[in-house]
Structure 1
């Protein structure tokens, strides 16, 4: 199962923890790191069982689950920039007076009003989640959509892709007679997204590639590897150093 699919389908409790249990492993929902059960992991001079080691990984690699989630695009969180800043300050433990002074807005009563508005948003979210869960039990005609990568830089209709559509696009652009190579690079956004997702599956999630290594992987799929590389970065599948010396899979 892809990390994006895990991220969007785990329980709220798992999402709060930042990791979930899958078969014989714990998987970090923030980066995809996998820790096998039944193995003792060294950290400094101390040995930790797998689940505790996963919690240490989240603390050291991601600071906190809150920080990782609050940094997601506003189209994922549904938060305005103003609400985002308020939540960050509340999470830091600041009181209403400190928040008002730091943000330079209104008065402490203004901050209390914002707290109330955020609480109302929470109540609405709970009701909406419950409605959607009940709908799943009755809506037998709902298509299965391909999960949106949380690394996506923009959210629009290009991500409106069902699993059936994805399979058809893959079959069209990666015909069996071409041995898995890309027939042509698509012009339409939705098809381009599917093609890029198919190519990025071949990258090792924990590996850092230099430009030559990455180009060789992409060349196996399409002659114009520079074009594919550019779009992988543009669509948020890859990240890189500013000088282009290193590339890695962005989860």
Structure 2
């Protein structure tokens, strides 16, 4: 889950642009796709340098960083469904009267009040981020938590897991190493989440798999590959076409 680590470790500016940069490449924070520097990339008859091509990748694969973030679970964004819809309409450039008409609520002044509440939420978020940054400098006892998978479903206490707990679970259920077979399927939710997360390392980002390929890979992990496949989809790690003909790691 290297991409989850990058995503949650990114700065505010990096999250806004949707990618991080190092000496050799640009890496998309939304899916992990890397674009090497020093290469010219063709797109519809036009040549682009790496940085611009990363922006094209984000537009093509994710529409925009804003849309990607808005599609995350409400437990991650802290937004209600109502606030989510409001922000989407504001992002589309609609004025208060247009938003009021489309949502069918109150009046234009009601929408203005919603804007005020969202602005207050922004101010609170800025203060909270500053306080947490200051806390990091002093809190020597804070445990290292396992990064959340961005497309996790039903974010709840199951994700309250430390790196030490993850290491212990992997050692218990993969006694011969995480690249070997699974000893048994975890009965507890937290352990199950960690093991499923570890299993995703056997798949490649941005690759589409046929069902028989998925089954073959999962069969090397555990005898009941159908069980693993079902839970990987249920927990939001894998996605698939409606007819089950193709599977891929969920971005």
TM-score range, shorter chain: over 0.9
1:141 counterpart residue number: 141
Aligned residue for 1:47, secondary structure, equals: strand
How far apart are residue 46 of structure 1 and its match? 1.3
2:11 counterpart residue number: 11
Q: 1:120 to 1:178 in 2, by over 3 A?
A: closer
Long gaps (5+) in structure 2: none
Aligned residue for 2:244, secondary structure, equals: coil
1:200-211 correspondence to structure 2 within 5 Å: 200-211=200-211
1:87-166 correspondence to structure 2 within 5 Å: 87-166=87-166
1:243 counterpart residue number: 243
Q: Is the 8 A contact 2:26 2:36 kept in 1?
A: yes
**Count of aligned pairs:** 251
How far apart are residue 137 of structure 1 and its match? 0.3
Distance in structure 1 (CA, Å) of the matches to 2:245 and 2:84: 34
Aligned residue for 2:185, secondary structure, equals: coil
TM-score normalised per structure 1: 0.97
Distance in structure 1 (CA, Å) of the matches to 2:157 and 2:25: 35
Long gaps (5+) in structure 1: none
How far apart are residue 92 of structure 1 and its match? 0.7
Distance in structure 2 (CA, Å) of the matches to 1:161 and 1:86: 33
How far apart are residue 30 of structure 1 and its match? 1.4
Distance in structure 1 (CA, Å) of the matches to 2:50 and 2:100: 42
Distance in structure 2 (CA, Å) of the matches to 1:57 and 1:93: 24
Q: 1:160 to 1:85 in 2, by over 3 A?
A: same
Distance in structure 2 (CA, Å) of the matches to 1:170 and 1:21: 31
Q: CA deviation digits over 1:192-212, x for unaligned, max 9?
A: 111111111010112111111
- Are 1:197 and 2:194 matched, yes or no? no
RMSD (Å) for aligned C-alpha atoms:
1.4
1:169 counterpart residue number: 169
1:209-220 correspondence to structure 2 within 5 Å: 209-220=209-220
